[in-house]
Structure 1
Amino acid sequence: MKVEARIFEVIALFFFVVGVVYTIATFYYRTGVEWAGATAMFFSGGLALLAGTYFRFVARRVEIRPEDFDDAEIEDGAGELGFFSPHSYWPILIAGAAALFAIGFASANWWFAVGVVPIIVACVAGLVFEYHVGPEKH
């Protein structure tokens, strides 16, 4: 996980540096700062930093993986990778609810978009707690 953390941290640093350069450049070469691009640069850096921080946090709690070694071979990563739910319908429901939210938001139907938020939260809760309730409970 340290490799992934480094990648996202470098991407975040790139976006922050380019955001500062972009903001200064648009300030001096236009009549003022071009806020849409500057905001996009800094938000992109923030999102990359968020992902990098998550990977750095997780890297402390998992054992060292073959990807963390410079001299690792492909065979070092063989074996079981994890548990993946074979029959979950929750991701489809989350995607459908998110699409409904996007339609409501894009068409300025705020009552519709706000009304779909509890459905999204319920679907995410269903996904998170799928194996903690019902017949699949261990």
Structure 2
Amino acid sequence: MKSEAWIFVVCTAFMVLVTPAYWFVTAASEEGGDWTGTSALVMCTLLFAMITVYLGFHAMRMDPRPEDREDGDIAEGAGEYGFFPPFSWWPLWAGLTFALVVLAIAMAAWWLVIIAAVLGMLATAGWNFEYYRGEFKH
């Protein structure tokens, strides 16, 4: 966790340097500076700082992982990392129905939005329950 915290410390420091530089560069070229870009950079800086504090706080409270220790061995990190599902067609159908919803909204075809929403619910239900039936059921 410490290595991730240090990565975000560097990113936060970069954003702290870039944000005022952006403000000064845009203030020289425009009237009063670019408020939109500067406020977006300030928010990004604060978000990086929030993640840095979170990771640093948890890095101090938890036992060091093998990659955080100087004497850590690669074999210590071996083991089960979690469940990774096999192939699935359901994300494709869910994405296609979402694309159909967006297209229907863009065309103002509200009847098609309703049909696509129903198809989207079916695709989402199929995606959620794909491990309860068929070849990969538990």
Q: Name 1:21's counterpart in structure 2.
A: 21
Give 2:62's aligned residue. 62
1:74-119, CA deviations, whole angstroms, 9 ceiling, x for partnerless residues?
Answer: 3221135579xxxxxxxxxxxxxxxxxxxxxxxxxxxxxxxxxxxx
Counterpart position of 2:78:
78
What is aligned with 2:33?
33
Letter in 1 for 2:78: A
Structure 1: give runs of 5+ residues left out of the alignment. 84-138
Query: In the aligned structure 1, how far is the partner of 2:72 from the partner of 2:58?
Result: 21
Question: How big is each residue's C-alpha offset from its partner over 1:10-53, in whole Å with a ceiling of 9 and x where there is no partner?
Answer: 11111121001000111112222101111111111111111111
| 3-state SS, counterpart of residue 61 of structure 2 | coil
Opposite residue 32 of structure 1, the aligned amino acid is: G
1:110-133 alpha-carbon deviations (Å, 9 max, x no partner)? xxxxxxxxxxxxxxxxxxxxxxxx
For structure 2, the residue ranges without an aligned partner over 5 or more in a row are 84-138
CA distance in 2, matches of 1:9, 1:54: 11
Q: Identity rate of aligned residues, in percent?
A: 39
> How far apart in 2 are the matches of 1:71 and 1:41?
39
Note if 1:45 corresponds to 2:45.
yes
Scaled by the length of structure 1, what TM-score is found?
0.55
Partner of 1:123: none
Quote the Cα distance in structure 1 between the aligned partners of 2:48 and 2:27: 25
Q: Which structure has the greater CA radius of gyration? A: 2
Q: Which amino acid aligns with 2:35?
A: W
Matches within 5 A, 1:117-128: none
Moved more, 6-15 or 74-83: 74-83
